[in-house]
């Protein structure tokens, strides 16, 4: 879509037929904005494997936007992963988001033959060469399970050096954390594009829950303003739209190579920011 920057949207596979139809309707609405690709998440331990596969194939074939499945190695054997790679390659999929993945409750760390995301990147390269553009995750505010920030930087460098083409960050609300992360990894010799992940603000309680789980910090001033609005959904959404739009403006002005919107299978909040930014269509 853009020679200089790329814009994308992320979905999660649903558990019901009605939810799936709504996802496809949202995808068709977003497709009119000509994003570079859609991505689709992969449940803990591969728990949504079939739904992710089916969603990705429909996005690619019916909605006509390139689709990038998430692929995680926790809980999957090499044969499982090999089979998925073959199916995606046969379907014309050319981009994959390679992750370690989350452990389902009760699953031991020993599950799966590959332990880390860099192992998965290496495996994809060994199996498929350069067929796939491989995205990896980046954590400007540190992965919640990392021992410290320096270790997390080293983990990211390993993923990049294993053969990743670009990265998408966990969402954040402090642009400085993104710029600092990019500065640090550039100093460590990593030059792949690092695209900010953007989470629209529409519901404070859900956002607080997500953020606590994934280690994304909600700055105190944002948290306090959202708390002050209480159940006033319209005010929360107006404030959230302004905050995210201004952050995205700063990110793009500072050289970010695009934006990746975490849609939560909803179009309106992401498109409000897109339209405010006057992004190309």
* C-alpha distances in Å from residue 142, one per residue of 15, 88, 145, 152, 221: 30, 31, 8, 6, 21
249 in catalytic set: no
Under-50 pLDDT residues of the chain: 1-2
pLDDT at residue 65, rounded to an integer: 95
pLDDT at residue 281, rounded to an integer: 83
Question: Domain extents for the chain?
Answer: 6-277
pLDDT at residue 114, rounded to an integer: 84
Residue of 10, 122, 135, 141 marked active site:
10
pLDDT at residue 183, rounded to an integer: 98
Rounded-to-integer distance, Cα 117 and Cα 101, Å: 8
pLDDT at residue 42, rounded to an integer: 84
What's the pTM? 0.94
pLDDT at residue 279, rounded to an integer: 95
Query: Is CATH 3.20.20.220 the classification given to domain 6-277?
Result: yes
- pLDDT tens for each residue of 184-221: 999 999 999 999 999 999 999 999 999 988 889 999 99
């Amino acid at each position: 879509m853009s020679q200089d920057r790329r814009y994308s949207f992320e979905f999660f596979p649903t558990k019901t037929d009605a939810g799936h139809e709504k996802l496809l309707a949202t995808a068709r609405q977003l497709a009119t904005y000509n994003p570079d690709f859609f991505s689709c998440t992969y449940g803990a331990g591969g728990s949504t494997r079939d739904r992710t596969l089916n969603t990705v194939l429909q996005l690619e074939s019916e909605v006509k936007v390139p689709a990038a499945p998430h692929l995680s190695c926790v809980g999957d054997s090499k044969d499982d992963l090999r089979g998925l790679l073959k199916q995606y390659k046969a379907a014309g999929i050319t981009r994959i988001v390679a992750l370690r993945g989350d452990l389902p409750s009760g699953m031991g760390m020993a599950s799966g033959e590959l332990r880390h995301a860099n192992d998965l990147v290496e495996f994809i390269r060994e199996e498929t060469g350069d067929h796939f553009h491989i995205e990896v995750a980046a954590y400007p505010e540190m992965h919640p399970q990392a021992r410290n920030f320096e270790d997390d930087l080293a983990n990211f460098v390993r993923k990049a050096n294993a053969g990743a083409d670009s990265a998408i960050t966990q969402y954040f609300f402090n642009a400085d954390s993104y710029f600092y992360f990019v500065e640090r990894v550039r100093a460590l010799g990593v030059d792949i594009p690092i695209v900010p992940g953007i989470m629209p603000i529409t519901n404070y309680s859900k956002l607080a829950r997500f953020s606590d789980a994934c280690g994304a910090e909600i700055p105190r001033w944002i948290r306090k303003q959202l708390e002050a609005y209480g159940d006033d959904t319209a005010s929360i959404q107006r404030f959230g739209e302004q905050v995210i739009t201004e952050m995205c403006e700063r990110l793009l002005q500072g050289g970010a190579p695009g934006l990746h919107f975490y849609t939560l299978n909803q179009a309106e909040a992401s498109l409000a920011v897109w339209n405010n930014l006057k992004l190309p269509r």
